[in-house]
């Protein structure tokens, strides 16, 4: 029998704790703290994410049942819900935000060679947001509508590996288009966005930076045709035009030419109108690129189903943001472990394994290799996998 570290401790060993310590020192996170320092707070909240805990009382009861193993899991004292509640209110959420960005940079390097649905060498990003509904009486600081509260999770997803490259948490009223003001455009990269990000002044900033974008065009866009390229209508490409904007303000905000492609989806029968500043790719490639945007929708659906970002352990803005950032860190951590251990199982399968084995003293490679095979062999082959990479 293996008498070494628990699976939870082995998982935490994959984290760069030296870097975490520097981030904590930068924000003075452990200043005047006598119990549950930032590192322990992160471990507790990550444990809650990985084991699907529902409340502070649930966390306390679960850890108290394994009191003899807590020290070896990185906890110096028993975890009390009042102490954890105070930590959620007091520990600066920016500590966990910065640490999540460190993990994201590591994961993006590991997944840089992943295949994309389109054969391209360029970096491709999908930009979108999802709304997390809250109760207005409990979260009055997050007022969204007259009787509703919410926060928005804005995400720039690297489509190679489905790793979030940039995340911003805002209140529910914040319009999606303002996210473009926070981006640092990457020359040569392709940004895929829906119609909510159609702002010519902001898109021209991307264009001037040498980046490319693919978005949906409005049907009533005031523009004139400059040139028409030949198209094969059997592929669904109805027209491929080079256009110039006619509107007084839009022409000032975006003085260069744009490319507009009309595409009819044979599966749904819908006609889609795409707008891009990429003139070199075939029209079919532009349409295929926009289709890859579905990955960010699945990312949002996945984290809402498998991580705790819909039920919160605290009611303050700091507590909510801390929990979301630690949830993102837990997601990226499992993605890192999957890649470093060369596991073929899906993230969902790995999370299922971890949720019931974190207290076991089994080598992590053995836990994954044995149990993952059982999960995969008994899976229903006719059931769609929500998130497989």
Residue 292 has pLDDT above 60, yes or no: yes
What is the SS3 assignment for the chain?
A: CCCCCCHHHHHHCCCCHHHHHHHHHHHCCCCCCCCCCHHHHHHHHHHHHHCCCCCHHHHHHHHHCCHHHCHHHCCCCCCCHHHHHHHHHHCCHHHHHHHHHHHHHHHHHHCCCCCCCCCCCCCEEEEEEEEEEECCCCCHHHEEECCEEEEEEEEEEECCCCEEEEEEEEECCCCHHHHHHHCCCCCCCEEEECHHHCCHHHHHHHHHCCCEEEEECCCCCCEEEEEEECCCHHHCEEEEEEEEECCHHHHHHCCCCEEEEEEECCCCCCEEEEEECCCCCCHHHHHHHHHCCHHHHHHHHHHHHHCCCCCCCCCCHHHHHHHHHHHHHHHHHHHHHHHHCCCCCCHHHHHHHHHHHCCCCCCHHHHHHHHHHHHHHHCCCCCCCCCCC
Percent of the chain with pLDDT over 70: 94
Residue 382 has pLDDT above 60, yes or no: no
Going by pLDDT thresholds of 50, 70 and 90, the confidence category of residue 380 is: very low
Per-residue confidence (pLDDT) for residue 3, from 0 to 100: 62
Per-residue confidence (pLDDT) for residue 153, from 0 to 100: 93
Residue 197 has pLDDT above 80, yes or no: yes
pTM exceeds cut of 0.75: yes
Per-residue confidence (pLDDT) for residue 367, from 0 to 100: 81
pLDDT in tens, 117-133: 677 778 899 999 999 99
Domains of the chain, start order:
7-96+315-378 (no CATH), 199-277 (2.20.25)
Give the lowest-confidence range in 186-190, 325-329, 372-376: 372-376
Question: Between 244 and 361, where is the model more confident?
Answer: 244
Residue 264 has pLDDT above 80, yes or no: yes
Per-residue confidence (pLDDT) for residue 328, from 0 to 100: 93
Question: Between 41 and 386, where is the model more confident?
Answer: 41
Residue 106 has pLDDT above 80, yes or no: yes
Percent of the chain with pLDDT over 90: 57
């Amino acid at each position: 029998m293996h008498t070494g570290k628990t699976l939870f401790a082995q998982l935490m060993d994959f984290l760069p704790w030296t870097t975490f310590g520097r981030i904590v020192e930068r924000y003075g996170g452990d200043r005047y703290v006598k119990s549950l320092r930032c590192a322990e707070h992160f471990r507790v909240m990550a444990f809650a994410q990985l084991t699907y805990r529902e409340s502070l009382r649930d966390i306390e009861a679960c850890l108290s049942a394994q009191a003899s193993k807590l020290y070896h899991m990185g906890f110096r004292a028993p975890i009390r819900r009042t102490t954890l509640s105070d930590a959620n209110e007091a520990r600066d959420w920016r500590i966990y935000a910065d640490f999540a960005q460190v993990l994201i940079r590591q994961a993006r390097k590991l997944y840089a060679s992943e295949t994309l649905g389109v054969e391209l060498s360029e970096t491709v990003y999908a930009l979108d947001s999802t709304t997390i509904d809250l109760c207005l009486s409990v979260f009055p600081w997050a007022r969204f509508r007259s009787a509703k509260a919410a926060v928005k999770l804005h995400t720039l997803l690297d489509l190679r590996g489905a790793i979030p490259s940039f995340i911003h948490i805002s209140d529910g009223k914040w319009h999606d288009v303002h996210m473009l003001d926070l981006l640092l455009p990457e020359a040569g990269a392709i940004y895929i966005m829906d119609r909510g990000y159609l702002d010519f002044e902001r898109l021209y900033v991307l264009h001037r930076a040498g980046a490319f974008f693919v978005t949906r065009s409005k049907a009533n866009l005031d523009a004139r045709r400059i040139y028409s390229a030949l198209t094969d209508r059997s592929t669904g490409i109805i027209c491929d035009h080079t256009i110039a904007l006619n509107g007084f303000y839009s022409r000032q905000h975006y003085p260069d030419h744009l490319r507009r492609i009309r595409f009819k989806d044979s599966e749904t029968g819908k006609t889609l109108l795409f707008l891009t500043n990429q003139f070199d790719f075939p029209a079919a490639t532009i349409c295929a690129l926009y289709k890859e945007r579905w990955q960010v929708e699945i990312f949002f659906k996945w984290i809402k189903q498998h991580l705790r970002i819909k039920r919160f352990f605290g009611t303050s803005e700091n507590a909510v943001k801390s929990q979301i950032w630690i949830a993102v860190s837990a997601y990226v951590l499992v993605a890192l472990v999957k890649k470093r251990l060369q596991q073929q199982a899906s993230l969902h399968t790995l999370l299922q394994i971890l949720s019931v084995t974190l207290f076991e003293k089994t080598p992590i490679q053995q836990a994954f290799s044995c149990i993952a095979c059982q999960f995969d062999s008994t899976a229903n082959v006719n059931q769609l996998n929500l998130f497989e990479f």
